[in-house]
Amino acid sequence: MTTLTRRRDLQSPNETWRIFFGDVQAGTIAKRAEGPSGSPAWQWFCGFYPGSHPGEQQAGSAQSYEQARRAFEAAWHVFFSNRSPEDFDEWREHHAFTAWKYAMWDAGCRLPPQTPSGRSRCFCGTLIDLTTTVAHIRSSHMPPPQSFDPGQRD
Ligand SMILES: [Zn+2]
């Protein structure tokens, strides 16, 4: 089965781990900024959106990374048991579209809705318009779908 993995977020000033389930970000575990002594040192956030309903994401705090990790895993178990493959696809698509928009801006390209004609050129060189943009992003700027079936778990 697909397991959770973690990657250090080097952009964050405090120790922060981005937790992944395959290619989907499942949440974060992060050390808090210096607070009053005795306050919990770690916080965690579990779940992703879109691809879930409001209120399904959970968060909490803990005294140690290990405690935060255990609480996160328990929350993920609940969150994951309520997910369908389509939920993961929804998040992947949203993530890919957001990344594409930033790549367009970084390349100095305008999005079709920002042009008078409704047509533009993708940073990859392809001509796009209001009706073809979504299909173009799906076909050219999304990783291939990962096959996974939440019903099949070890
Ligand atoms: Zn393109």
b/e string for 90-100 if b means 16 or more Cβ within 10 A?
bbbbebebeeb
- Tens digits of residue pLDDT in 142-153: 877 665 555 444
Question: If you measure from the C-alpha of residue 90 to the centroid of ligand 1, how many angstroms do you get, rounded to a whole number?
Answer: 20
Query: Residue 154, class by beta-carbon neighbours within 10 Å (0-12 exposed, 13-18 middle, 19+ buried)?
Result: exposed
Ligand 1 centre from 47 Cα, in Å? Answer: 30
Q: What does the pLDDT look like over 30-87, one tens digit per residue?
A: 998 876 677 789 999 999 999 999 899 999 999 999 999 999 999 999 999 999 999 9
Ligand 1 centre to CA of 86 (Å) is 24
CA of 94 to the centre of ligand 1 (A): 16
**How far is ligand 1, taken at its centre, from the CA of residue 141, in Å?**
6
**CA distances, 22 to each of 4, 42, 54, 69 (Å):** 7, 24, 23, 17
* Sequence spans of domains, the chain: 4-81, 85-152
Which pLDDT belongs to residue 95? Answer: 93
pLDDT interval class at 1 (50, 70, 90): low
Q: What is the 3-state secondary structure (H, E, C) of 14-65?
A: CCEEEEEECCEEEEEEEECCCCCCCCCCEEEEECCCCCCCCCCCEEEEECCH
pLDDT of residue 37: 73
Distance 144 CA to ligand 1 centre (A): 15
Dihedral sign (CA 131, 136, 139, 141): negative
Q: How far is the CA of 138 from the centre of ligand 1 (A)?
A: 10
Write down the pLDDT at residue 40: 81
Average pLDDT over residues 114-137: 96
CA distance 1 to 146: 13
* Residue 154, pLDDT above cutoff 50: no
Q: What percent of the chain has pLDDT over 70?
A: 92
Which residue reads 């579990």 in tokens?
A: 46
| pLDDT for 146 | 64
pLDDT of residue 39: 79
For the beta carbon of residue 115, count every other beta carbon within 10 angstroms.
13
